Copies of this chain bind each other. A is one copy, B any other.
Amino acid sequence: MANPTNLSRRMTLSNIVQAITTYGPISRASVAKMTGYSKQTVSEIVSSLEEDGWVQTVGRTEGNVGRRAVVYEIVPDAALVASVDLGGTKVRVALCNLSGAVVAEVAEPTCKDGGEAVVDQIARMVNGATSNLGIAPSKIRVAVIGVPGVPDLETGHINLAPNIIGIDRIDFSSLLRVRLGIEVIVENDVNLAALGEHWMTHQGDKDDLVFLSIGTGIGAGVVIGGQLVRGATGGAGEVGFIPFGADPTEPESLKVGALERVTATSAIVGGYQQETGMQKTVPEIFDAFVAGEEAAAKVLQTAASYIARTIGAIAAVIDPNCVVIGGSIGAREELIRMIEQEIARNFPRSIPVEASVLGNHAALAGGTAVALSRLHIALFARDLPGANIVVPPPEIETFQEGAA
């Protein structure tokens, strides 16, 4: 009964499920008031949902005048989704239930053989997580994979992912779909991180958000109106290629990006070496800066200036509510302070800049958001025009650093 053929019934069902999901636990009378449907219609649909195991009672109201209301909520474990963050060095898998809670999380070093071996690894980790918990694998309905590259929706290849060999020559999503037997969505990891930050911390009032990841490279995920912007060729957010900073006509700039050459790891390490003749890692340079070393300050200042100007360029094009900064370099509070100062010097208005709250779990959270939204649509809003169910995020701790 949870999948009526009729369009208007599906719409009603979808609206009622959305209300229970967002405001649950909630009584049928309240749902009726909120949605505008009659109590009787709500009762009818809620009982069909209960029969099919999608909602359950969780007690009754108390203390109010009048008859006590029976209160319903979504059955959290009625279905699960898998969110996978496939990194160059580590694979993270989280199984989440319908309320966004993580029921299992595992991490492993990425299989160095690349290609199909990685597909095998992910499938094994996802299935392993269910069997450990004694959950039927069929409970998992959707898997979202964050990958460090640009997925080609037509061929299933993942391009520009130098860290995982051979993944640009296999139909990654189809192979994984066959292996897992469920719907598989492949998305760039920075894009997912942007969606994750938006879902967990910036929903509602601030619907235009850019997640800027700064580490060995620099890249952004762009969310406008709550929707991810991928671009015509999947190249949206490749801000390292903004043709300013280093001379954009040099071959190296065309290869890694003119702006990436002055903002990412190599710029800081290289700049420090030029300044001092010494080879230090980025964390070491930050330590030196905190200890008051002038060369370190100068190098970081230069990077911060270019990063600020990158943010200015982004703001000039799409004017987001907020820029969230993450990545191994971007996560440093000291750097964010400098970036804020540099924005004030280089751009006519202020741009809200924040440190990522989710750290290296942002992509995992974003994958969960995408998977849950997709699952809700598949379950309760099939073929509905303009359907875009927003699942409320779980507690922030769920996805915070150190959870795995």
Contact = CB atoms under 8 A, between A and B. Distances in A.
Interface of A: 7-8, 206, 208, 220, 222, 224-225, 227, 229-245, 248-249, 254-255, 257-259, 308-309, 312-322, 345-349, 385-387
B312 A243 contact: yes
B229 A315 contact: no
Contact of A233 (B229, B240, B349): B349
Given A249-B345, A249-B346, A317 B224 contact: no
28 contacts: A208-B231, A222-B317, A222-B318, A225-B227, A235-B349, A236-B318, A237-B317, A237-B319, A238-B319, A239-B316, A239-B317, A240-B316, A241-B316, A241-B348, A242-B313, A242-B317, A243-B309, A243-B312, A243-B346, A243-B347, A248-B309, A248-B346, A249-B345, A255-B348, A257-B348, A317-B317, A318-B318, A386-B387
Contacts of A322: 232
Contact of A229 (B224, B241, B386): B224
Contact of A316 (B242, B308, B321): B242
B385 A319 contact: no
A4 to B, nearest CB: 13
Contacts of A348: 241, 254-255, 257
- Which has the most chain B C-beta neighbours within 10 Å: A222, A230, A238, A347? A347
A321 B229 CA distance: 12
A387 B241 CA distance: 37
A232 B347 contact: no
Nearest to A312: B243
A345 B243 CA distance: 10
A232 B320 contact: yes
Contacts of A386: 385-387
A244 B385 CA distance: 42
A317 B318 contact: yes
B244 A309 contact: yes
